[in-house]
Chain A
């Protein structure tokens, strides 16, 4: 098997073609290139290091098994990202079944506390460096419920439309809009430093 460095000049497309013919070394190179991005997306959704690691590795195994189905309509990274997202969604569904989410469900059904919150102005270019903003967004994502965070990640990071998010989250478009709305309002409050829970 070739060392990953030997193929650093080869494009993803060529590596994918080689891997589709059974070249595990080419696939190893693809993993080396995109491993951290796939892990980062799994972490954004799961907020748990171990789960993110396991799911990102599972995604690569699935990627290898389904590689012949990849026709190149999107980039290889986009295709792999969709695989890891689907695995995360499956895992979140399992987790949801395992725990009681009565409080979150009540908040969501009744409109939640976010509806009564005053609007805040969030200007990402004002006062915050881009790196600092990323850190604050990441920290804020960790404070959202799984459903709200997932809707936000799929819409803002993955740039999916409502319809596509609804399909993936197995819920109605109305539910997606509702989750996205409350997630954004809470995110706005967190980014602006309005931590309601501290004030109460």
Chain B
């Protein structure tokens, strides 16, 4: 450290006790060192608490709106980071769900191409009789239910009036 920087460190109180004593003696006995110390001390004193007060060159509302917008924008960017497990789960779940949908489509198309259809159910009502017909095309099975309306109210006897006919 050169002598001038030592004088400065002495002015700033950055020297240990021994060094400070030595430099202090030198400053006291050497005119040039004394003048330098006075100058440095003068600048230090002049600048203490002398930062010029300034107003931001935009309105308080505009200033805050920009800060707020940036806060919200950065929060939106940061959000996916906070639910990282969700992103991982989604990464796993999306292909599995896609595969399941694909399987359903394939099964449905195979079923349709094989001529498998849902059973047909037809029901009709005449004056004294209710009729319900069930037909399964794949097995060629047809079931017809006949029910006497007069006996409908009497639940206990309803089963006695039911007849079924099986046809091929």
A→B interface (CB under 8 Å): 24, 28, 31-32, 35-37, 39-41, 43-44, 49, 53, 56-58, 60-61, 64-65, 115, 119-124, 130, 133-135, 137-138, 152-153, 155-157, 161-162, 174, 177-178, 180-181, 184-185, 187-188, 191
Contacts and interface: CB of A to CB of B under 8 A. Distances in A.
Contacts of B39: 119-122, 184-185, 188
Q: Which of A115, A121, A135, A187 has the most CB of B within 10 A?
A: A187
A177 B8 contact: yes
Interface string B30-73: 00100110111011111110111111111010011011101100
A135 B71 contact: no
Contact of B71 (A49, A61, A122, A123): A61
B81 to A, nearest CB: 12
Contact of B8 (A61, A133, A156, A181): A181
6 contacts: A32-B60, A39-B56, A134-B50, A134-B51, A135-B52, A153-B51
B20 interface: no
Contacts of B52: 40, 44, 134-135, 137-138
B1 interface: yes
A185 B60 CA distance: 38
B9 interface: yes
A61 B67 contact: yes
A9 B12 CA distance: 39
- Report whether over half of chain B's contact residues are helix, strand or loop; otherwise say mixed: helix
Contacts, number: 118
Given A24-B68, A119-B39, A162-B12, A43 B54 contact: yes
B54 A178 contact: no
Interface residues of B, number: 38
A56 B56 contact: yes
Given A39-B56, A124-B50, 13 more contacts: A24-B68, A31-B64, A39-B54, A40-B51, A41-B51, A57-B63, A119-B35, A134-B50, A134-B51, A137-B46, A137-B52, A157-B47, A180-B8
Contacts of B1: 174, 177
Given A44-B51, A53-B58, A135-B52, A188 B74 contact: no
B20 to A, nearest CB: 14
Contacts of B63: 31, 35, 57
A71 B58 CA distance: 31
Contacts of B36: 119
Given A28-B64, A134-B50, A162-B14, A184 B43 contact: yes
A124 B4 contact: no
A122 B67 contact: no
Nearest to B9: A177
Given A119-B39, A134-B52, A157-B51, A61 B46 contact: no
B45 A124 contact: yes
A83 B168 CA distance: 89
A183 to B, nearest CB: 9
Contact of B57 (A49, A60, A121, A188): A49
